[in-house]
Amino acid sequence: MKTSLDRKEMPAVQADCALYSRLDGPLLSVRGQWNAPPGMKIEDTPEGHICFDVIRKTSENPLIIPRLQETEYVKTDPNVHAYGLQTYIGQTVRFSGVASGSLCVVYNRAYEPTDDDVRILGIIASAIGQEEERRRAEEPP
Protein backbone atom coordinates (compact mmCIF):
# COMPACT_ATOMS: atom_id res chain seq x y z
CA MET A 1 0.00 0.00 0.00
CA LYS A 2 1.90 3.04 -1.22
CA THR A 3 0.43 6.40 -0.35
CA SER A 4 1.26 10.04 -0.86
CA LEU A 5 0.73 12.43 1.99
CA ASP A 6 -1.31 15.44 1.05
CA ARG A 7 0.86 18.56 0.63
CA LYS A 8 -1.37 20.30 3.18
CA GLU A 9 -0.53 17.81 5.95
CA MET A 10 3.13 18.55 6.65
CA PRO A 11 3.53 22.37 6.63
CA ALA A 12 2.98 22.47 10.39
CA VAL A 13 6.47 21.00 10.81
CA GLN A 14 7.98 23.13 8.01
CA ALA A 15 9.86 20.13 6.59
CA ASP A 16 11.28 19.80 3.10
CA CYS A 17 10.26 16.12 2.87
CA ALA A 18 8.46 13.49 4.96
CA LEU A 19 8.77 9.72 4.60
CA TYR A 20 7.13 6.72 6.19
CA SER A 21 9.40 3.70 5.85
CA ARG A 22 8.99 0.19 7.18
CA LEU A 23 10.79 -3.09 7.12
CA ASP A 24 9.41 -5.40 4.44
CA GLY A 25 11.32 -8.64 4.80
CA PRO A 26 15.00 -7.87 4.18
CA LEU A 27 14.31 -4.41 2.72
CA LEU A 28 13.58 -0.96 4.06
CA SER A 29 10.70 0.34 1.92
CA VAL A 30 9.26 3.83 1.65
CA ARG A 31 5.51 3.24 2.03
CA GLY A 32 4.34 6.85 2.24
CA GLN A 33 5.91 10.10 1.15
CA TRP A 34 5.39 13.82 0.94
CA ASN A 35 7.52 16.01 -1.29
CA ALA A 36 10.10 13.27 -1.89
CA PRO A 37 12.81 14.18 -4.39
CA PRO A 38 12.40 12.76 -7.88
CA GLY A 39 14.33 9.54 -8.42
CA MET A 40 14.67 8.75 -4.73
CA LYS A 41 15.17 5.02 -4.19
CA ILE A 42 12.10 3.60 -2.42
CA GLU A 43 13.60 0.23 -1.46
CA ASP A 44 17.06 -0.54 -0.15
CA THR A 45 18.90 -2.71 2.31
CA PRO A 46 18.30 -1.14 5.73
CA GLU A 47 21.82 -1.13 7.17
CA GLY A 48 23.28 2.38 7.42
CA HIS A 49 19.99 4.23 6.88
CA ILE A 50 18.93 6.61 9.62
CA CYS A 51 15.35 5.31 9.40
CA PHE A 52 16.59 1.80 10.22
CA ASP A 53 18.32 3.14 13.32
CA VAL A 54 15.05 4.79 14.36
CA ILE A 55 13.27 1.44 14.05
CA ARG A 56 15.96 -0.34 16.10
CA LYS A 57 16.18 2.21 18.90
CA THR A 58 14.46 1.43 22.19
CA SER A 59 13.54 4.97 23.26
CA GLU A 60 10.06 6.34 22.66
CA ASN A 61 11.60 9.75 22.03
CA PRO A 62 12.21 10.92 18.47
CA LEU A 63 15.70 10.81 17.03
CA ILE A 64 16.79 14.36 16.21
CA ILE A 65 20.03 14.80 14.27
CA PRO A 66 21.25 18.27 13.33
CA ARG A 67 24.27 18.88 11.07
CA LEU A 68 23.84 15.59 9.19
CA GLN A 69 26.70 16.44 6.86
CA GLU A 70 29.05 16.20 9.87
CA THR A 71 27.88 12.72 10.95
CA GLU A 72 28.72 9.19 9.84
CA TYR A 73 25.35 9.11 8.08
CA VAL A 74 26.84 11.18 5.25
CA LYS A 75 28.77 7.96 4.44
CA THR A 76 26.21 5.30 5.39
CA ASP A 77 22.85 6.75 4.34
CA PRO A 78 22.92 7.53 0.61
CA ASN A 79 20.10 10.08 0.92
CA VAL A 80 22.05 12.41 3.23
CA HIS A 81 24.69 13.24 0.65
CA ALA A 82 22.55 12.85 -2.48
CA TYR A 83 19.93 15.35 -1.32
CA GLY A 84 22.03 17.63 0.88
CA LEU A 85 20.08 16.80 4.03
CA GLN A 86 20.98 18.91 7.05
CA THR A 87 18.47 18.02 9.78
CA TYR A 88 16.60 14.77 10.49
CA ILE A 89 13.74 14.08 12.90
CA GLY A 90 12.48 10.50 13.08
CA GLN A 91 9.83 8.77 15.18
CA THR A 92 9.40 5.01 15.54
CA VAL A 93 6.15 3.57 14.18
CA ARG A 94 4.93 0.58 16.18
CA PHE A 95 2.23 -1.84 15.24
CA SER A 96 1.24 -5.11 16.86
CA GLY A 97 3.56 -4.05 19.69
CA VAL A 98 6.66 -4.13 17.48
CA ALA A 99 8.78 -1.30 16.12
CA SER A 100 8.44 -1.93 12.39
CA GLY A 101 8.62 1.48 10.75
CA SER A 102 9.73 5.06 11.02
CA LEU A 103 8.22 8.40 10.17
CA CYS A 104 10.75 11.08 9.44
CA VAL A 105 10.87 14.67 8.35
CA VAL A 106 14.03 16.05 6.82
CA TYR A 107 15.33 19.50 6.13
CA ASN A 108 17.83 20.86 3.62
CA ARG A 109 18.76 23.50 6.16
CA ALA A 110 19.62 23.76 9.83
CA TYR A 111 16.38 23.45 11.76
CA GLU A 112 15.68 23.18 15.46
CA PRO A 113 12.35 21.41 15.98
CA THR A 114 9.81 22.91 18.33
CA ASP A 115 7.92 20.94 20.95
CA ASP A 116 4.90 21.15 18.64
CA ASP A 117 6.91 19.64 15.76
CA VAL A 118 7.87 16.67 17.94
CA ARG A 119 4.31 16.28 19.27
CA ILE A 120 2.78 16.36 15.76
CA LEU A 121 5.29 13.81 14.48
CA GLY A 122 4.46 11.52 17.40
CA ILE A 123 0.71 11.81 16.77
CA ILE A 124 1.11 11.03 13.07
CA ALA A 125 3.44 8.08 13.81
CA SER A 126 0.88 6.69 16.25
CA ALA A 127 -1.92 7.07 13.70
CA ILE A 128 0.16 5.26 11.06
CA GLY A 129 0.76 2.42 13.53
CA GLN A 130 -2.97 2.12 14.20
CA GLU A 131 -3.72 2.11 10.47
CA GLU A 132 -1.11 -0.60 9.90
CA GLU A 133 -2.74 -2.73 12.63
CA ARG A 134 -6.19 -2.20 11.08
CA ARG A 135 -4.89 -3.10 7.63
CA ARG A 136 -3.22 -6.28 8.90
CA ALA A 137 -6.38 -7.32 10.76
CA GLU A 138 -8.32 -7.08 7.48
CA GLU A 139 -5.85 -9.20 5.48
CA PRO A 140 -6.98 -12.75 4.81
CA PRO A 141 -5.10 -15.38 6.85
Please report the pLDDT score of residue 124 as a whole number.
95
In this predicted structure, what is the pLDDT of residue 59?
86
Query: How many angstroms separate the CA atoms of 129 and 131, rounded?
Result: 5
Residue 27: inside a domain, yes or no?
yes
Residues of the chain short of pLDDT 70, as ranges, are: 1-12
CA-CA distance, 88 to 96, in Å (whole number)?
Answer: 26
Question: CA-to-CA distance for 54 and 73, rounded, in angstroms?
Answer: 13
Structure confidence at residue 5 (pLDDT): 43
CA 92 to chain centre: 8
Q: What's the CATH code of the domain at 91?
A: 3.30.450.40
114 falls within a domain: yes
Residue 127: inside a domain, yes or no?
Answer: yes
Q: What pLDDT does residue 137 have?
A: 87
Q: What is the pLDDT of residue 70?
A: 97
- The domain containing residue 110 runs over which residues? 13-138
Q: What is the pTM of this model?
A: 0.87
Domain count, the chain: 1
Tell me what pLDDT residue 12 has: 55
Instruction: Please check whether residue 106 is in contact with residue 88, taking contact to mean a CB–CB distance below 8 angstroms.
Output: yes
Task: Indicate whether 1 belongs to any domain.
Answer: no
Model confidence over 98-134: pLDDT tens digits?
999 999 999 999 999 999 999 999 999 999 999 999 9
Residue 5 lies in a domain: no
Residue 2 inside a domain? The answer is no
Q: What is the pLDDT of residue 113?
A: 93
* Residue type present at position 43: E
> Residues 6 or more apart from 20 whose CB is under 8 A from it?
5, 30, 31, 32, 33, 93, 101, 102, 103, 128
Output DSSP code: residue 125.
H
User: Does 94 fall in a domain?
Assistant: yes
- Average pLDDT of the chain? 90
Whether 45 is in a domain gets the answer: yes
